[in-house]
Structure formats: structure tokens, C-alpha cells
Amino acid sequence: MLNADNLISYDSRFTSAAWRWLFVAVIAFACFGAFYPSLSGAALEWGDRITITDNPLLNGPFNLAAVFSTAVNGAYQPLYLLLLKVLQLFGASADTPFLFHLSNVSLHTLTAISIFFLFGRLGMRAGTAFACALLFAVHPLHVGTVAWISGGGFILSALLSVLSVSGYVQYVKTASRTWLYTALSLFVLATLSGTQALVLPLVLLATDYLMGREWTSQKIMVNEKLAWWIISAVTAISHLFYYLRIQTHDPAGDTYSLLERVALGAINILKWPAKVIWPSPLSYYYLPPSPVPSIAYICLVVAPVVMALAVRYATKQNNRSLIWGLLVYTILILPGLSIFPTTDSFFADTHAYLAIAGLLFAVGIIAERLIDSKRTLATVGATATGISAILLSILSWQHSGYWQNMETLFAHHISSFPDSYFGYDQAGQYHLKEAFKVEGNDAARLQHLISAKTYFTDAIRIDSINGRPKPVVSSDLLQSAGVVCGLTGEPLEAVRYFTSAIRLTPQNPEALKNRGYQYFLTKQFVLAIADYSTAINIKPQESDLYYMRANCNYAKGNLKEAHTDLDKAISLGTSDPNCFIAMAVVFRAEGDTAAAIDFAVKARELGANVPDEYLH
């Protein structure tokens, strides 16, 4: 009979295959129950559309070499791309994403089940391993990974990592080189799915320590794992150089020093254990604080001290299993600390996805020790596990519902962080993009623009209240509001916003270009020309600026200046047919009909709808 006493403590019946598979069934049922709402979620603009709809590797002719040589959406995950391609063959798409979501929930379920078996192989009692795997399975910290289609790469990498460690444990137990090569192969596959697998060789060293091997010996540390170290180092260096080349700023527009990043990482080391116990607030994105608060530097001192004290305590207790759990958490959290500028999501819960398993293992080991000292605690442990699993499942169900679409996601973020500009800004950007997608439906377009303006206005208000140490974000918010006002036919309001943006960031060519266009629309050509000229001084290789200034010069009757600007735009390689049409108009005004016809023909070749009279 299954009761509180034999659920948590050791009982020979729980080592049988029947019990193990019953535990597996419960974990699977709990996973699908907790994350069931995510199955009906949409493909989100935030990452999913880039990964699926706008990904030429999935939508163009299939090219296996390109899949393994191209990073998509800032991540190198060729194995996950192959999985997405297979799902596409069965009908999955951004418009019908059910199979994508089903894949994520299934992968998460398999990861939890694999953790259950791994913990058992590492000496944890079956009931305790089940409790740990169950809590991992339903924990709401995983919602941002499981409910987000693009998070599937993290889950696939985690699953392969767990299987790799399991294979390595079997190698240590059996001394079979087949298991070692199997573990190495799974490690390679894990690195092709996500960056968190790169620290797996360190997890293996911790596993050697746990299993009583002489883990510091050259044979174990170097000879046995040389291939692991090489693969990890080469892949890590490749990722680092790639990210440093494409990404040096976070979305707040602030550049963090190495010390600041380490301090922010220290916050994460202490934050995620707390959120395992109390998973709130939960959001799809946590904006890094700017400036870096003093608490970050306090955590920088406290985090290693706390970890050292915990390891020292476990060492005095001769509890290698507890040390293994603490080390695994610390090791697996390293890729998500953003010590190097390889990501803009410092605090995203996705980075803690697999690391949480290490914490749960440590808690399970502590529970086993307590139960061994006092058997009556087994009832308390079983009850606590059951209640926690139910509560966490309810929270996961609730938060999975927030991932149904971008509007529900932004609404939840704003309700969680009402004093942060970020959620309002992102909601405004979403509605602005949607407005361009409904061309032809004026009512829907106007509604999106009104919503965008409301969100941008709120973002500006909150940003001005909080104050920022650098003006880049404030300028971007003002510029976004100006763009919306321009689209809704409010040029004076648009100019006001653009002027405020330029006041904060004078070397802002986009704001200057946008304000120049509003001046052009209101026939203030002198002011427009001045803005375009300033923007050209900042970005002299942008052909659009010369084309737009040419329009202003032509409107003022400055044919020579317009001709010069259009010449420059064309010499810079513009493919905008409107530029060639404008040149045709200028040549005709100058009396050179042959040249005018020649440029009109070029415009038509570029796809422009050129009136027939331009060709005669």
C-alpha cells in the first residue's frame, strides 16, 4: 500500500519495475496537466516568428549544411532546427503551432523522467527521486521555457545533457567504453541544441567525486575527458566570438562592465534558489537593473560565501551527495550568468531550467537524512511534497495561460512590474507592428495605432518618473511615440516627440530622419533639409537620407541640389525604384527627356508601377 512512510523513505517495493513505471506515469500526467494551457498557445512575435516564419532554413529549400553553420535568433541550435523541420513535415506552422507546443511539453516530460532515473542511479531512494522529479516537472519557473516555442532548444539540450550524465554513470559502474562513447555522443548532441551543455564536463567531475573516484587524477580529469574538454572549449569560444560580434548592448541601451555583469550574476545565483521555494514574480523577461544596485555587489560577496559554507557543512557531514547537488546547481547556472555580453536576458528563468535539478537533488538528500534520523518525518515529507506539487501545478497552469498570445503576456508583465517602462514599450512595439500587418483594414489599423500610442505614452511617463542614467532608452521611447503620431496624422505632436528625442540624443539619425519627414509633409522644407543634412553627417552612407533630402530640394525648386542628392543615393547602391522615378522627374524638369526615359525604364525594371507618360 502506498502511504506517506514508504513514499519518501526506502522500501524495497519501490525498486521494482512496476513502481518505477508508476512513478513515470504520474510524472508524465503531472507534466501535461500543469502545462496543458500552453498547448493552445500561439506562436509569439517574441522570438517564435523569427525562429519559425522568418527562418529561411525552415521555409526555403532544405540545406543541411546551412542548418549546421547558421545561428538563428541569436542562438546556434541546429539539432533543434532539425526537430522543428520534422514537425513542419507533419503540419506544424506559426499559424498552427500545436505540434510545436506538444513537442516542448513532451521534451520537458522526458527530461523530468530522465532526472528521476538519474537520481536513482546516483543512489537516491526511488521515492525521493520521484518527489524531486515531480517537483521539477510541475515547477512554474519552467513555464517561460516550456510555453515558449523557441525555448524548446533549451529543453532538448537539457534532456540530452541528463541522458549524457546517465550514460557516464553507467560507464563508471560497468567500465564499459560503449557507455562512455554513448555519453560523449549525447554531449555533442546537447551542445548542438543549447549552450548550457558546454559545462557538462564539470558536472562529470562532480559525478566522479560523488561516486568515489579519484577525480583529480590525470587519468580521469584529462585522459578520459580530453574529447569533452576540447569540444566544450571550441564550442564555447565559437559562441563567444559570435555573440561579441553581433551583440554588445542590452535592450536598455546600457553597456555593462565585466564587474557589473559578475555582480548581476551573483544576484541570480541567490535569486533562483529563492524562486524555487517562492516562484514569484514570474515573467517572460526581467529587465536588468540600471544602474547596477548596491545589493548586487553585496550578493557578489555573499554568494560565494554561502556556497562555500554549504559545501563545508556537507563535507563535515561526509555527505558527497549534498555536495554534488550544490556543485551541479552552481555549474549549470554558469552559462546563464551573462558574465560576458552573450545575451541580453540577464534574469530570464530559462537559464535556470536544468540547474534547478541540482537544487532539488540537494533538498532530497537533506530530506533523506532527516527521515533517517526521525522516521515520523516521512509523513511530513510526503504531505509537503504532495501539497507543493499541487500548488506548483496550479501556478504553472495559471502562468501557462498568460502565454496564449502577446497581449496576455504583456498584460501579465505589466501587472507584475507596473513601474517598469519595458512592458509598456514592448506592448507598444507589438501593436505598432500589427498595424502594418492589417493594411487595408483601416479600423483595425487605427485601433492598433491607438493602443500603441497609449502604451508608449505610459512608458514615457513611467520612464520619466523613474529616471534613467543614460538617455538612449528615453530617446527611443519618445521616437516610437513620434512614429505613431506620424502614422495617425498628428504631425505637430510627432515633431514634438522627435524633438524631445533629439534633445536627449543629438546624434540620432533615425529621429532626425523621422522629424525631417514630418517637416516635409507640412511643407517646412528648410527645416526638413536641415534635419536630413545633420543625419547625413552622422550616417553618410545611408542612401535614403539623400533621396529624402532630394525631395525637399525639388519641392523648393533646387533642381541642381536635388540632382546631386539623387546621384549620391544611386551611387550608394540603392534599389528603391522611387529614387529612379525621382531622377526621371528631375531630368524631365531639366529638359533632358532621353535621360528621364532611361531612368523611368530602370524604375520599371525594379518593379515600380511607372505611368506610361514617363516613358515617352
Residue 51: is its pLDDT beyond 50?
yes
Domain boundaries along the sequence of the chain: 4-247+258-373+381-402, 419-540, 559-616
Helix (H, G, I), strand (E, B) or coil at 584: helix
Q: Name residues whose C-beta falls within 8 Å of residue 163's C-beta, 6 or more positions apart in sequence.
A: 114, 186
Distance between the two ends of the chain, CA-based, in angstroms? 95
Whether the predicted pLDDT of 482 surpasses 80: yes
Cβ atoms of residues 97 and 146 within 8 Å: no
Residue 468 has pLDDT above 80, yes or no: no
The closest of 132, 166, 123 to 10, measured between CA atoms, is 123
Euclidean distance between CA atoms 452 and 547, whole angstroms: 29
DSSP 72: B
The residues pairing with 72 across neighbouring beta strands, listed in sequence order, are 75
CATH superfamily of 419-540: Tetratricopeptide repeat domain (1.25.40.10)
pLDDT in tens, 389-432: 999 999 999 999 999 999 999 999 999 999 889 899 999 999 99
Each residue's pLDDT tens digit, 217-239: 888 888 899 999 999 998 888 77
Write the pLDDT tens digit of every residue in 327-378. 999 999 988 777 665 555 667 888 899 999 999 999 999 999 888 888 788 8
Is 166's pLDDT higher than 60?
Answer: yes
Which residues have a Cβ under 8 Å from the Cβ of 151 and sit 6 or more positions away?
104, 144, 145, 350
Q: Which residues pair with 75 in a beta bridge?
A: 72
State the average pLDDT over residues 48-77.
Answer: 80
CB 350 within 8 A of CB 154: yes
**Per-residue pLDDT for 187 more than 90?**
yes
566: nearest Cα among 611, 514, 614, 577: 577
Q: Report the share of the chain in percent with pLDDT over 70.
A: 92
pLDDT higher than threshold 70 for residue 469: no
C-alpha cell at 233: 572549449
**Dist CA 290 CA 471 (whole Å):** 12
Q: How many beta carbons lie within 10 A of that of residue 539, not counting itself?
A: 14
Average pLDDT over the chain, rounded to an integer: 87
Q: If you compute the radius of gyration of the chain from its CA atoms, what whole number of angstroms results? A: 29
DSSP 357-409: HHHHHHHHHHHHHHHHH-TTHHHHHHHHHHHHHHHHHHHHHHHHHHTSSHHHH
What is the average pLDDT across 154-176? Answer: 95
249 pLDDT exceeds 60? no
Contacts of range 511-518, beta carbons closer than 8 Å, 24 or more positions apart = 511/475, 511/478, 511/479, 511/482, 512/538, 513/544, 513/545, 513/548, 514/479, 514/482, 514/483, 514/486, 515/482, 516/548, 516/549, 516/552, 517/486, 517/548, 518/482, 518/486, 518/491, 518/494
CA-to-CA distance for 362 and 383, rounded, in angstroms? 19
Select from 607, 118, 125 the least CA-distant residue to 365: 125
* pLDDT bucket at 495, cuts 50 / 70 / 90: very high
What is the reported pLDDT for 189?
A: 96
**Residue 143 pLDDT:** 95
Residue 21 has pLDDT above 70, yes or no: yes
Does residue 250 surpass a pLDDT of 70? no
Q: What is the pLDDT of residue 343?
A: 56
22 has pLDDT over 60: yes
H or E element that contains 606? none
- pTM of structure: 0.88
Over residues 269-294, the mean pLDDT reads 85
Give the 3-state DSSP-derived string for 517-548, with helices as H, strands as E and coil as C: HHHHHCCCHHHHHHHHHHHHHHCCCCHHHHHH
Distance, in Å, from the CA atom of 298 to the CA atom of 287, rounded to the nearest integer, reads: 20
- Res. 485: pLDDT tops 90: yes
